[in-house]
């Protein structure tokens, strides 16, 4: 038995905070799902877990996007941060804190960190000239740039020349190299460590540009208002400002003392350099301990191509969840991503994985077992009263899954842990075929044996639910509820047979219905065509408009709510309708040129907005006392109000 109870031991893990420039796609969401699985597993084995995530909200790219959108950078990031948080919540992420780098306490601490490093000589003022990648917020030298493109993301870089502050990286290079040598588990996987050492440390570190003066959307340098603090000092510092760190504190708060150093930073492989070189040097300069581990996970590609909105191959996790459920998305992400090499996603592979693992294997096992328990034992869990070599093989498979999941989760081999559970489920389905409960049920003398078989199946399902909880928490809770238990801690798996005989299971339930691939793909194609057609619509041209008016002019227009009591066409006038309206305080007659767009019966009973102080006019011999508020010219749309709108209200 490899499991060890870690009761009370702290475990602090973080994701990279998501950049608040756009909605995250499936590849971005993998990281938060993976980290959540680790957090849930660590809680299961007794750890006191603190799980941090959040959003990175400063930088030139966001300033540019906000300008294009015609809003302030803060308004822009407020919107995107809410979107990101919404996706995280939909994916059932059990984070303990969500930090935003625009939070006041974070900005203040970052300013103090920058000032402290400057005062002790680790930051100095200089002049920057080199290559800058705006999407990655990263600087590169001539030797690092590949054919005029960013070595990390492959997008074009631009030449940047500006006054800047620099961090003395070179002063800490030897110390960092020795630290990595002395702590072989600091960077994982091993291939990532070799990449950092060979490509950056062994060739010599250059001092790092840590401020910008060519844009304003960032944390200001307190002693030089022309500069804002470079995003990587700002963003990286979140890992300890979130738990209370500030270099100006005489004594750091208990939350910091308890949690720092972090046990692991979970990040994408593309930002490993910032977390294993820049961040450790910042910590060394501040005299703070380094995190125990930085794990650089691979990427999800669409097939063999990098997922990119510009390529039209982006899959969004929350949209996919609407089709296959949140746990369907979580399962695919965790089952398909290898430990060190990139994973792949296509709609076809999603369907195959879903049908094979969830519908056929897990769902079928639960459904069959509950159905047989209901049919043969009235939904009461039978006694485990006999023994057979087949039972021992199934029990052995359960213990093997228990050990394998524990060992693989401890070493971050998530997909291997998932596979271990489904190997056990495959063995359980085979056990049904081997024992043939439907045959045993025909012989009263075999009733004890039948009870044992069903007990073993129910207990194996309990093992599966507990082991699957980090990966598919909603499904795990549902299964445990079906079999009448709520324990999902690892201690409950130390001995096979903890399920209580005599308790009741609930009626069978379809956990995962099989997906029809043809129908599914037809819907996807229809959605793509609709989206393409929407994007192809010509942009609405900005109207030339009329002269601006003051508030006093606008307030001179009296808009009131009203209800249409009666409506009829105006004889010999194809465009006109005559309406009787109720303003609450009086009734009026209004003539409106909307007959081309509305039938009288479309309007009767509707609540509308009327210009109530318009001078009377005569149209086709009928007096009109007001005007209905509507939009459009070629297609007119009357502004309708909700049924609970009071009559005669002033519209402002």
Report which of 282, 289, 291, 228 is spatially closest to residue 120, judged by C-alpha positions: 282
Q: Sorting pLDDT into bands at 50, 70 and 90, what band is 620?
A: confident
Helix (H) or strand (E) run with residue 552 in it = helix 551-555
Query: How far is Cα 279 from Cα 208, in angstroms, rounded to an integer?
Result: 11
The pLDDT value recorded for residue 306 is 78
The pLDDT value recorded for residue 309 is 67
Task: Please list the alpha-helical segments (H only) found in 56-214.
Answer: 60-69, 73-90, 104-119, 173-182, 190-196
Place of tokens 């009973």: 605
Query: How far is Cα 354 from Cα 364, in angstroms, rounded to an integer?
Result: 12
Instruction: State whether residue 544 is helix, strand or coil.
Output: coil
Query: How far is Cα 106 from Cα 99, in angstroms, rounded to an integer?
Result: 8
Report which of 240, 234, 264 is spatially closest to residue 252, judged by C-alpha positions: 240
Query: How far is Cα 105 from Cα 85, in angstroms, rounded to an integer?
Result: 20
The pLDDT value recorded for residue 541 is 62
Query: How far is Cα 628 from Cα 606, in angstroms, rounded to an integer?
Result: 12
pLDDT in tens, 513-567: 999 999 999 999 998 888 878 777 766 566 666 677 776 677 789 999 999 999 9
Tokens of 247: 């270099």
The pLDDT value recorded for residue 555 is 73
Query: How far is Cα 451 from Cα 443, in angstroms, rounded to an integer?
Result: 12
Query: How far is Cα 261 from Cα 288, in angstroms, rounded to an integer?
Result: 8
Task: Please list the alpha-helical segments (H only) found in 100-189.
Answer: 104-119, 173-182
Query: How far is Cα 458 from Cα 111, in angstroms, rounded to an integer?
Result: 57
133 C-beta neighbours (distance < 10 Å), count: 22
Taking a C-beta distance cutoff of 8 angstroms, is the pair 240, 214 a contact? no
Report which of 615, 567, 624 is spatially closest to residue 595, judged by C-alpha positions: 567
Q: Cα separations (Å) of 176 from 170, 173, 421? A: 10, 5, 40
**Rounded to 5 degrees, what angle do the CA atoms 550, 551, 557 make?**
105
Residue 599, pLDDT > 80, answer yes
Taking a C-beta distance cutoff of 8 angstroms, is the pair 339, 403 a contact? no
Taking a C-beta distance cutoff of 8 angstroms, is the pair 81, 190 a contact? no
Place of tokens 């690092």: 144
Residue 310, pLDDT > 70, answer no
- Among 70-74, 332-336, 546-550, 598-602, which is the least confidently predicted range? 546-550
Q: How far is CA 646 from the centre of its chain?
A: 41
Q: Cα separations (Å) of 150 from 143, 146, 536? A: 11, 7, 31
Instruction: State whether residue 617 is helix, strand or coil.
Output: strand
Partners of 344 in beta bridges:
301
The pLDDT value recorded for residue 360 is 96
The pLDDT value recorded for residue 143 is 73
Q: What percent of the chain has pLDDT over 90?
A: 77
Q: Over range 561-581, report the average pLDDT.
A: 91
pLDDT in tens, 450-486: 999 999 999 999 999 999 999 999 999 999 999 999 9
Pairing of strands 264-268, 228-229: unpaired
Share the mean pLDDT of the chain. Answer: 92
Residue 184's contacts (CB-CB under 8 Å, 6 or more residues apart) are none
Tokens of 238: 């979140």
Q: Cα separations (Å) of 261 from 30, 37, 40, 288? A: 24, 21, 20, 8
Report which of 338, 369, 333 is spatially closest to residue 350, judged by C-alpha positions: 333
Helix (H) or strand (E) run with residue 139 in it = strand 138-140
The pLDDT value recorded for residue 546 is 63
User: Looking at residue 96, what DSSP letter applies?
Assistant: S
Residue 39's contacts (CB-CB under 8 Å, 6 or more residues apart) are 11, 13, 49, 51, 94, 95, 470
Helix (H) or strand (E) run with residue 566 in it = strand 559-569
The pLDDT value recorded for residue 221 is 97
pLDDT in tens, 26-54: 999 999 999 999 999 999 999 999 999 99
The pLDDT value recorded for residue 105 is 98
Tokens of 270: 């593309």
202 C-beta neighbours (distance < 10 Å), count: 11
The pLDDT value recorded for residue 237 is 98
pLDDT in tens, 209-229: 999 998 999 999 999 999 999
Q: What percent of the chain has pLDDT over 70?
A: 97
Helix (H) or strand (E) run with residue 264 in it = strand 264-268
Tokens of 277: 């070189």
Could you tell me the domains of the chain? 10-101+299-306+314-320 (3.40.50.620), 346-493 (1.10.730.10), 556-641 (2.40.50.140)
User: What is the side-by-side strand order in the sheet with 208-209?
Assistant: 138-140, 123-133, 158-167, 208-209
End-to-end CA distance of the chain: 71
Report which of 550, 623, 627 is spatially closest to residue 594, judged by C-alpha positions: 627
Q: How far is CA 21 from the centre of its chain?
A: 14
**Rounded to 5 degrees, what angle do the CA atoms 419, 424, 425 make?**
95
Residue 7, pLDDT > 80, answer yes
Q: Sorting pLDDT into bands at 50, 70 and 90, what band is 364?
A: very high
pTM: 0.81
649 C-beta neighbours (distance < 10 Å), count: 16
Instruction: State whether residue 10 is helix, strand or coil.
Output: strand
Q: Over range 446-450, report the average pLDDT.
A: 95
- Among 500-504, 532-536, 619-623, 644-648, which is the least confidently predicted range? 532-536
pLDDT in tens, 48-71: 999 999 999 999 999 999 999 999
Place of tokens 């049919």: 375
């Amino acid at each position: 038995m490899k499991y060890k109870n870690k009761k009370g031991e702290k475990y602090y893990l973080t994701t990279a905070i998501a950049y608040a420039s756009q909605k995250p796609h499936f590849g971005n969401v993998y990281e938060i799902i993976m980290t959540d699985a680790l957090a849930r597993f660590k809680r299961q084995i007794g750890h006191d877990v603190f799980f941090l995530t959040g959003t990175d909200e400063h930088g030139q790219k966001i300033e540019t996007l906000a300008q294009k959108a015609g809003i302030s950078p803060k308004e822009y990031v407020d919107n995107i941060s809410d979107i990101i948080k919404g996706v995280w919540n939909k994916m059932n992420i059990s984070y303990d804190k969500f930090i935003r780098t625009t939070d006041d306490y974070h900005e203040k601490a970052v300013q103090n960190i920058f000032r402290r490093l400057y005062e002790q000589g680790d930051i100095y003022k200089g002049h920057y000239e080199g290559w800058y990648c705006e999407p990655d917020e990263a600087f590169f030298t001539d030797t690092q740039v590949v054919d005029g493109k960013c070595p990390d993301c492959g997008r074009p870089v631009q030449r940047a020349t500006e006054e800047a502050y620099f961090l003395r990286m070179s002063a800490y290079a030897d110390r960092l190299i020795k630290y990595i040598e002395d702590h072989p588990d600091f960077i994982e996987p091993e291939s990532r460590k070799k990449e950092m050492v060979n490509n950056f440390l062994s060739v010599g570190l250059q001092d790092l540009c840590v401020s910008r003066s060519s844009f304003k959307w960032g944390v200001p340098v307190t002693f030089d208002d022309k500069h804002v603090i470079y995003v990587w000092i700002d963003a990286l510092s979140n890992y300890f400002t979130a738990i209370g760190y500030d270099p100006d504190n005489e004594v750091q708060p208990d939350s910091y003392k308890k949690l720092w150093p972090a046990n692991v930073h979970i990040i994408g492989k593309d930002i490993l350099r910032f977390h294993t070189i820049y961040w450790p040097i910042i910590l060394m300069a501040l005299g703070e301990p380094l995190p125990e581990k930085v794990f650089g996970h691979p990427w999800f590609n669409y097939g063999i191509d990098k997922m990119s909105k510009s390529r039209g191959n982006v899959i969004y996790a929350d949209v996919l969840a609407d089709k296959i459920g949140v746990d369907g998305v979580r399962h695919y992400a965790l089952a398909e991503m290898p430990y060190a090499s990139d994973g792949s996603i296509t709609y076809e592979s999603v369907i195959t994985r879903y049908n094979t693992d969830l519908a056929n294997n897990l769902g079928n096992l639960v459904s069959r077992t509950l159905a047989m328990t209901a049919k043969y034992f009235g939904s009461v869990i039978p006694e485990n009263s006999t023994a057979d070599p087949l039972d021992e093989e199934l029990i052995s498979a359960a213990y093997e899954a228990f050990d394998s999941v524990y060992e693989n989760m401890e070493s971050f081999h998530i997909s291997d842990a998932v596979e271990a559970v489904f190997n056990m489920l495959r063995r359980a389905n085979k056990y049904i075929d081997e024992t043939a409960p439907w045959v045993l049920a025909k012989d009263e003398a075999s009733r004890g044996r039948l009870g044992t078989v069903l007990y073993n199946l129910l207990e194996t399902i309990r093992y599966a639910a507990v082991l699957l909880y980090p990966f598919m928490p909603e499904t795990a809770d549902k299964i445990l509820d079906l079999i009448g238990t709520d324990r999902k801690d690892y201690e409950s798996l130390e001995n096979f047979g903890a399920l209580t005989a005599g308790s009741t299971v609930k009626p069978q339930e379809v956990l995962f219905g099989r997906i029809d691939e043809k129908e599914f793909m037809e819907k996807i194609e229809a959605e793509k065509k609709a989206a393409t057609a929407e994007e192809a619509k010509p942009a609405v041209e900005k109207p030339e408009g009329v002269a601006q008016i003051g508030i006093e002019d606008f307030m001179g227009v009296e808009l009131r709510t009203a209800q249409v009591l009666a409506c009829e066409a105006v004889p010999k006038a194809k465009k006109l309708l005559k309406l009787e309206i109720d303003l609450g305080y009086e009734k009026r007659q209004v003539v409106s040129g909307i007959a081309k767009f509305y039938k009288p019966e479309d309007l009767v009973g509707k609540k509308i907005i009327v210009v109530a102080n318009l001078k009377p006019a005569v149209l086709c011999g009928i007096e009109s006392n007001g005007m209905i508020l509507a939009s459009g010219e070629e297609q007119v749309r009357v502004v309708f109000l909700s049924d609970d709108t009071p009559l005669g209200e002033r519209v402002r």
